[in-house]
Structure 1
Amino acid sequence: MEARDRLIVGLDVPSLAEAQAMVETLGDTVSFYKIGYQLTFAGGLDFARELAQEGKKVFLDMKLLDIDNTVASAVENIARMGMSMLTIHAYPKAMRAAVEAARGSDLCLLGVTVLTSMDEQDMIDAGYEYDPHTLVLKRAEQGRAAGMGGIVCSAEEAGAVRQIVGPKMAIVTPGIRPAGGDRGDQKRVMTPADALKAGSSHLVVARPVVKAADPKAAAIAILQEMQTAL
């Protein structure tokens, strides 16, 4: 894959009009978009279908977690929408149900391990017995065993996760910040080039592009930095 196939721009904007304007601004520079909760509840699902119909790839970041039947039913419908990627919280039962429901489709299911906004103290506060790194690796093993298409983790864990999941599974890393960029609310971050070198296959970048004064120039700069690592 080229850099353009690996960059996923997060449309983390408050309105459908802003998302449409961003996609138009970025043009052919970007071919892959993430739609998460913020845009989903502002008409984002219909927009996701439109993007897919226009030939763009769409990563639907829903982080599904529910009883098996509910997860499976949701995955079946999302697969029919033409989405490229979908996130599931990396609980073994939920992942197994999702994998069975997506069988025969082109939908790549991603197991969300530990959010990149969480550090060790956050894990303790949430009642987990594992530190972030240990839990990420445990859930990566479970995702591989369940037959998932990939794992979502921070770039800090990408190398260790790659050793667990092998060369074929996707490793999608949010928390990507160009050198000197503002971390915002992310605690485990890495630059685009370093993330790819560490083992990431796809990079999710939102604020450094969508909040930039010139989003297209920002995306091009990130793609150029990514290319140095490929």
Structure 2
Amino acid sequence: MRGPLIVSLDIANKEGLFKIVDQFPSDEGMTVKIGMELFYGEGPDVVRQLLARGFKVFLDLKLQDIPNTVKMGMMQIGRLGVTYTTVHALGGSEMIAAAKEGLELGSEEAGVPSPKLLAVTELTSITDDALKTEQNCRLDMVDQVVSLAKLAKKAGADGVITSPLEVSSLKQQVGDDFLYVTPGIRPANFPKDDQSRTATPKQAAEYGSSALVVGRPIIRSNDPVAAYHKLLKEWNDAN
């Protein structure tokens, strides 16, 4: 059994959220991702409600600020009891270390396990051209992602968010003792939407992803439960 196939619930409000999650059996043991849109609209109570219903939660807020501000924010996240949360690796090693410290302090105070800290490398919407012309990065995409992952690991992160296309290089250069959580997952022939670096669940498994994040192919389906199980089977059955 591989790591989880995380369902990205990029939904505007609580009503829309529970319209989807209520379709899943209470014993599904599913991990769901809550991002900025829902969290900023509904606040931490929606996270607590999901946890109370037995879901594991990936709170994806991608913090990036001065180290002390991030530390204080992560103390609040650490108290919630979520399983994963994120920072931007581009925030630097001192900020990542502060984020980890904040999570550990908050979770210890609340008596819950500390969330896994995942550092976002380059967003899956960033193209090679944007990396060069907008970020003025002298590295190519793979080398940039590897560099950021090494920085994050050294600073105490538990893993990275990265395109599945970079995972094989990451595992070779950063190691197997690190989480490689990959968004940009699409079934074969599904539109890429605003993602530029995508893969199927089978391809992601072959590349060595630790866990997948899937949103629109599930939540926009006429049958989200069936769509989830179809992708989960492809993910778990891949060699």
TM-score (normalizing by structure 1) = 0.93
Choose the corresponding residue for 2:7, options 6, 9, 14: 9
Deviation at 1:164, TM superposition (A): 3.0
Per the alignment, residue 135 of structure 1 pairs with: 144
Per the alignment, residue 106 of structure 1 pairs with: 114
Deviation at 1:100, TM superposition (A): 2.0
Change (3 A) 1:99 1:164: farther
Per the alignment, residue 97 of structure 1 pairs with: 98
Q: Give the whole-Å Cα distance in 2 for the aligned partners of 1:21 and 1:71.
A: 33
Amino acid at match of 2:124: T
Change (3 A) 1:77 1:216: same
Amino acid at match of 2:123: L
Amino acid at match of 2:210: S
Whether the aligned pair in 2 keeps the contact of 1:29 and 1:220 (CA below 8 Å) is: no
Change (3 A) 1:176 1:44: farther
> Alignment length, in residue pairs?
228
Whether the aligned pair in 2 keeps the contact of 1:8 and 1:204 (CA below 8 Å) is: yes
Q: Give the whole-Å Cα distance in 1 for the aligned partners of 2:114 and 2:124.
A: 27
Amino acid at match of 2:179: A
Identity of aligned residues (%): 37
Deviation at 1:168, TM superposition (A): 2.7
Unaligned runs of 5+ in 2: none
Deviation at 1:228, TM superposition (A): 1.4
Change (3 A) 1:44 1:212: farther
Q: Give the whole-Å Cα distance in 1 for the aligned partners of 2:43 and 2:183.
A: 20
Runs in 1 of length 4+ with deviation above 3 angstroms? Answer: none
Q: Give the whole-Å Cα distance in 2 for the aligned partners of 1:167 and 1:52.
A: 29
Deviation at 1:166, TM superposition (A): 2.2
Per the alignment, residue 192 of structure 2 pairs with: 183
Per the alignment, residue 61 of structure 1 pairs with: 60
Amino acid at match of 2:32: Y
Deviation at 1:154, TM superposition (A): 0.1
CA RMSD in angstroms, aligned pairs only: 1.6
Please give the secondary structure, in 1, of the residue aligned with 2:24: helix
Please give the secondary structure, in 2, of the residue aligned with 1:21: helix
Please give the secondary structure, in 2, of the residue aligned with 1:25: coil
Deviation at 1:29, TM superposition (A): 4.1
Q: Give the whole-Å Cα distance in 2 for the aligned partners of 1:159 and 1:106.
A: 28
Amino acid at match of 2:158: G
Deviation at 1:30, TM superposition (A): 5.6
Deviation at 1:121, TM superposition (A): 1.2
Question: Are 1:78 and 2:86 an aligned pair?
Answer: no
Amino acid at match of 2:130: D
Please give the secondary structure, in 2, of the residue aligned with 1:66: coil
Change (3 A) 1:189 1:144: same
Deviation at 1:107, TM superposition (A): 0.8
Deviation at 1:132, TM superposition (A): 2.0
Whether the aligned pair in 1 keeps the contact of 2:118 and 2:157 (CA below 8 Å) is: yes
Deviation at 1:44, TM superposition (A): 4.8
Q: Give the whole-Å Cα distance in 1 for the aligned partners of 2:237 and 2:136.
A: 38
Amino acid at match of 1:158: V
1:176-224 CA distances to partner (integer Å, 9 max, x unpaired)?
A: 0011111111100000011022111110000000001111110011011
Per the alignment, residue 228 of structure 1 pairs with: 237
Amino acid at match of 1:101: G
Amino acid at match of 2:220: K
Question: Are 1:116 and 2:115 an aligned pair?
Answer: no
Q: Give the whole-Å Cα distance in 1 for the aligned partners of 2:232 and 2:29.
A: 9
Unaligned runs of 5+ in 1: none
Deviation at 1:76, TM superposition (A): 0.9
